[in-house]
């Protein structure tokens, strides 16, 4: 039964709906007079529960103050967004716009269609109000007849007073909001959109705690996968089993996955964003798993591990794997407060270029390949970058200016990935046959501190020996 898009007529007194070619009404059943006369009665009183303020509320308030100070005298609008259609009359699960959640603290429990409004004051500051569609009174038809927002269909909606206490912000009904000429709207106004993106470059204490939580749950998801390897191997579409096992952990201990899981076995590991996950997981191959849990606050981990399906690396697989780890370790060592973000990638590239040149895969020397103008030959085997910021989005702060991102300076509180790889396509004639079809990536989530980088995901086995021991433990 569909739970969206099946809106019945609010005052339909027919026993049966008339025939129609409109697919939103041709399945509608009418409401009889007895139903309409009694549906609004016989309900227990619903207590007005005023919750304690959530932990993120003061942090979100500080973020709003920063936005207010940056745009004095301007009316600012930050929409949560609406559900996105999946097919016909079904929608994808709703997830609020990241800037909206960041500035309100309303995360996995936020209401579609909500709007955060910064109303300018005479002193240059703003009064922030969160507008959303409050629960419908049971004397109205909405709660039983509207499948998109009615409580009979989707469950109770929050009350204005409860959300105000929970988030520490003024609230008002969505009907009280109307746009005005001159509004700056996130998503439409480039300057405001850029600012709220750059605001997330340095995480506060609450965000860092949520990142630690997301990494911990993700680590448990990887352990689940390793334990399920026999079942994964036995299934003709074992990659799907990997995806399902991880998704169960993400939904049970978090909100969901932070992005589509990549479960890429054998030659599929050479496709950087392989999400079809319809292949077999065959002993003798490597499997690359790129996955992250999004916790209820919407902060997500982003971790990749590659391991031998049989439990033991071949000599060539180990050589490639340990080269990637060497590149990751070099990038980690280069990531220090005060250096430019791009230094991380440059450090990884130096290792990659050096090793593939030693193996005879390049038509030039490693030094020539590393020339920024005329080189880049090693990128054939690692076309992606080494790092990206991470947080409430898997590719966080994506609207930030280049001088604040790729050319930006690393600061304490920044959270980012380090994820070098080597990928030798199955039909790449520039490498020996024994390398073809091998893809390896190692990805960790890094917190920059005043004392240097901290690998939040270091507890997930990284070295070739650790990975082999990890698999062996589950078979003991």
Domain-by-domain residue ranges, the chain? Answer: 53-139+154-198, 205-475
Q: Would you give the distance in Å from CA 44 to the centre of its chain?
A: 40
Q: What angle do CA 127, 129, 133 make, to 5 degrees?
A: 165
> For the structural domain made of 205-475, what CATH number should be given?
3.90.230.10
Q: Look up residue 1 and give its two tokens.
A: 């039964």
Q: Which helix (H) or strand (E) holds 68?
A: helix 57-70
Instruction: Check residue 25 and give its pLDDT.
Output: 64
CA pair distance 63, 279, nearest whole angstrom: 45
CA pair distance 282, 242, nearest whole angstrom: 13
Q: 53-139+154-198, what's its fold? A: Creatine Amidinohydrolase; Chain A, domain 1 (3.40.350)
Q: For 269-286, b where at least 16 C-beta lie within 10 A, e where not — what string?
A: bbebebebbebbbeeebb
The tens place of each residue's pLDDT in the chain, 476 residues long, gives 334 443 333 333 333 333 334 455 677 788 899 999 999 999 998 888 889 999 999 999 999 999 999 999 999 999 999 999 999 989 999 999 999 999 999 999 999 999 999 999 999 999 999 999 988 888 888 888 888 888 888 888 899 999 999 999 999 999 999 999 999 999 999 999 999 999 999 999 999 999 999 999 999 999 999 999 999 999 999 999 999 999 999 999 999 999 999 999 999 999 999 999 999 999 999 999 999 999 999 999 999 999 999 999 999 999 999 999 999 999 999 999 999 999 999 999 999 999 999 999 999 999 999 999 999 999 999 999 999 999 999 999 999 999 999 999 999 999 999 999 999 999 999 999 999 999 999 999 999 999 999 999 999 999 999 999 999 998 87
Instruction: Check residue 414 and give its pLDDT.
Output: 98
pTM of the entire structure? 0.93
Identical fold for domains 53-139+154-198 and 205-475, yes or no, is: no
């Amino acid at each position: 039964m569909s739970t969206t898009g099946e809106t019945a007529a609010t005052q339909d007194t027919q026993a049966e709906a008339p025939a129609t070619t409109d697919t939103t009404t041709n399945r509608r059943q009418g409401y009889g007079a007895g139903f309409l006369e009694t549906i609004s009665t016989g309900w227990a009183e619903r207590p007005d529960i005023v919750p304690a303020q959530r932990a993120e509320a003061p942090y979100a308030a500080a973020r709003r103050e920063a936005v207010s100070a940056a745009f004095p005298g301007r009316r600012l609008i930050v929409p949560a967004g609406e559900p996105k259609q999946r097919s016909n009359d079904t929608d994808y699960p709703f997830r609020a716009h990241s800037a909206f959640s960041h500035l309100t603290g309303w995360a996995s429990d936020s209401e579609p269609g909500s709007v955060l409004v910064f109303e300018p004051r005479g002193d240059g500051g703003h009064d922030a109000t969160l507008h959303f569609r409050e629960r419908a009174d049971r004397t109205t038809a909405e709660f039983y007849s509207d499948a998109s927002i009615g409580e009979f269909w989707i469950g109770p909606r929050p009350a204005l007073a409860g959300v105000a206490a929970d988030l520490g912000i003024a609230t008002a009904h969505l009907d009280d909001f109307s746009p005005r000429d001159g509004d700056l709207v996130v998503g439409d106004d480039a300057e405001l959109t850029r600012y709220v993106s750059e605001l997330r470059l340095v995480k506060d204490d609450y965000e860092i705690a949520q990142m630690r939580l997301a990494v911990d749950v993700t680590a448990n998801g990887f352990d689940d996968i390793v334990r399920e390897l026999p079942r994964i191997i036995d299934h003709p579409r074992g990659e799907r089993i990997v995806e399902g096992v991880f998704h169960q952990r993400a939904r049970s201990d978090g909100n969901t996955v932070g992005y589509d899981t990549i479960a890429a076995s054998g030659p599929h590991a050479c496709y950087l964003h392989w999400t079809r996950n319809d292949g077999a997981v065959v002993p003798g191959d490597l499997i690359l798993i790129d996955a992250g849990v999004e916790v209820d606050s919407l902060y997500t981990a982003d971790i990749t591990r590659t391991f031998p399906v049989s439990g033991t690396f071949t000599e060539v697989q180990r050589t490639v794997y340990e080269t990637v780890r060497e590149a990751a370790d070099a990038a980690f060592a280069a990531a220090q407060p005060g250096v430019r973000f791009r230094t991380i990638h440059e450090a990884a590239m130096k290792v990659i270029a050096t090793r593939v040149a030693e193996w005879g895969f390049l038509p030039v020397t490693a030094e020539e390949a590393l020339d920024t103008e005329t080189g880049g030959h090693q990128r054939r085997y690692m076309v992606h970058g080494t790092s990206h910021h991470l947080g409430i989005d898997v590719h966080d702060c994506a609207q930030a200016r280049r001088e604040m991102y790729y050319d930006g300076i690393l600061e304490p509180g920044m959270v980012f990935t380090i994820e070098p790889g080597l990928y030798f396509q199955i039909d790449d004639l520039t490498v020996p046959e024994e390398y073809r079809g091998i893809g390896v990536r190692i990805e960790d989530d890094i917190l920059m501190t005043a004392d240097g980088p901290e690998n939040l995901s270091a507890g997930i086995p990284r070295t070739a020996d650790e990975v082999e021991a990890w698999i062996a433990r589950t078979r003991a």
